[in-house]
Amino acid sequence: MLLQQVQEQKLVQRPDVRLLMTNTILQMTALELVQRIEQELQENPALELADEAVCPACQAVMMGDDCANCGYRADREPPLNEWGLPREYLSALPSSQASDDEIEDPTMNIATPFTLHEHLRWQAQMELSGEQWEVADYLIGCINDDGYLEGDLGDIAARLGVDVQQVASVLRTIQTFEPVGVGASNLRESLLIQLNDLREQGVRCDLAERIIRDHLDDLARRCYQRIASRLAVPLEAVIEAADFIVRNLTPYPGRLFRPPWNVKGVERNLPAKPEVIITRHGNQYEVEVLQLKDALLRVNQFYRHLYREMQRNRNRYSETERHHVTQCVKRAELFIENLKRRNATLTLIVEALIECQRDFFDHDGDRAYLKPLTKKHLAALVGRDVSTVSRATSNKFVQIPPYGQVVSFDIFFEAAPDAKDLLRQLIAQEDPLHPLSDQEIAKRLQSAGFAVARRTVAKYRRLLKIPPTFSRRAVQ
């Protein structure tokens, strides 16, 4: 009977999602997690919503509104919808009529960020012109919201009436744009692009590149021993390389520029909604992450029992059955753990941010009191990678005291402003007949003590509205 129920269950295999789930969940907004949790509940029979009320503090079963285990009281929490989502998020969901919350919401007129395609076209306009721009415009239209190119280059060239080599050349230029990894045709190509960008910044892992290039399927299945044998390297080295990949790369580069409140592909001019609310009580600040209550999710007890039974009596079950149950249970545990880790990471970052920008918060959000701060510096303070801080804050908003103003996390960071000044100076002094390339500028900035890559130089140049090398070259 048990085996029949197991065999009837179907789990969609998503090795790339399982491999990089941590980074993906970290960069998601709360509303995007609604869709993701629904997807996980449909795909994984070992994950379920708890029938009984579970304490969000200690996860013990609640008796009424109180937790006998830790003393938590439900009446201290804001009203939640069926997903455990704070009520103020409901106004951002698609509806035919405006709710009272939308009418009274003071953040209704806040502009939403660029879409991915707008951001890519903006970069392309700074780099390309004429026929190359037309090709780039078409290619960008073929890039989906996750950042991947859909379509064959040969077919695209035929539609545009140009040579396929020209299309490939323009695509290579697009692949240098931000977000890193965009414009690839598959996961392997995107990860290799991201690795190359890290290498330009002085961060490299040669074994990670070998694994992604030749053993990505084994990596997704966590067959570390097989990879180690085939590459003739120690098992520990493979595990370290896998950890490097999970910590530094993302399978969905385009999501860094997806509108934060675009749920299930619905395009609307929706207001910016905070992921975090900061409140002030005297001289103290309280941080609240508006979250889906991950305590409502749990591992299905039937699958939990069956997993333990299979561990005790392995010979009674086939390898396929054991693999299915183990994979479902472990994936459910990882998903729940990553939801908790996302909220803990956001809390840690915001608390450190308050300490770094204390004058700003003490003076009611007056931007004149903002201090120069980089994500790298904040990452060092909280003991995380800079990529973790970037994913946790990108395209997210925070509500600050005392009036509940909603601002982007970006206002707190200033990425090496002196580097921009030196870049402007280098270009002003360059030989018009032989203008500096972005790579040459990056090397000179690095010599001056700025840890910037070629891609960063291109970004600064576009922000300063400085044209690319070929446009600055004087005609002899």
Do residues 167 and 202 both lie within one domain? Answer: yes
Do residues 38 and 4 both lie within one domain? Answer: yes
* Residue 425: closest CA among 409, 406, 444: 444
Q: What is the pLDDT of residues 213-238, one digit of tens each?
A: 999 888 888 888 999 999 999 999 99
Do residues 65 and 15 both lie within one domain? Answer: yes
Average pLDDT, the chain: 76
Do residues 79 and 166 both lie within one domain? Answer: no
On whether residue 287 sits in a domain, the answer given is yes
Do residues 168 and 286 both lie within one domain? Answer: no
Tell me which of 374, 395, 413 is where a domain ends: 413
Q: What is the pLDDT of residues 248-305, one digit of tens each?
A: 888 888 877 654 334 334 344 445 678 899 999 989 999 988 765 444 788 888 898 9
Do residues 100 and 118 both lie within one domain? Answer: no
Residue ranges making up the domain that contains 336: 1-112+271-413
Do residues 386 and 315 both lie within one domain? Answer: yes
Q: What is the pLDDT of residues 51-75, one digit of tens each?
A: 655 555 544 555 555 666 566 565 5
d(CA 204, CA 461): 25
Tell me which of 363, 393, 413 is where a domain ends: 413
Domain total in the chain: 3
What is the arithmetic mean of pLDDT over 314-340? 87
d(CA 339, CA 465): 40
Q: Is pLDDT above 50 for 10?
A: no
What's the pTM? 0.46
On whether residue 263 sits in a domain, the answer given is no
DSSP 8-state assignment for residue 112:
P
Q: Is pLDDT above 70 for 37?
A: yes
Do residues 36 and 76 both lie within one domain? Answer: yes
On whether residue 372 sits in a domain, the answer given is yes
Predicted pLDDT of residue 476 = 62
On whether residue 211 sits in a domain, the answer given is yes
Measured CA distances, 465 to 129, 245, 402, 424, 472 (Å): 15, 34, 36, 10, 12
CATH number of the domain where residue 197 is located = 1.10.10.1330
Predicted pLDDT of residue 22 = 62
Q: What is the sign, positive or negative, of the torsion defined by CA atoms of 274, 62, 46, 220?
A: positive
Q: Which residue has the higher pLDDT, 368 or 397?
A: 397
CATH number of the domain where residue 447 is located = 1.10.10.60
On whether residue 265 sits in a domain, the answer given is no
d(CA 341, CA 237): 25
d(CA 45, CA 31): 23
Do residues 64 and 151 both lie within one domain? Answer: no
Predicted pLDDT of residue 67 = 66
- Ranking 93-97, 146-150, 328-332 by mean pLDDT, the lowest is 93-97
Tell me which of 258, 288, 323 is where a domain ends: 258
Q: 101-118 burial, b if ≥16 CB within 10 A, otherwise e?
A: ebeebebeebeebebbbe
What's the start-to-end Cα distance of the chain, in Å? 84
Do residues 280 and 247 both lie within one domain? Answer: no
Q: What is the pLDDT of residues 175-202, one digit of tens each?
A: 988 888 999 999 999 999 999 888 877 7
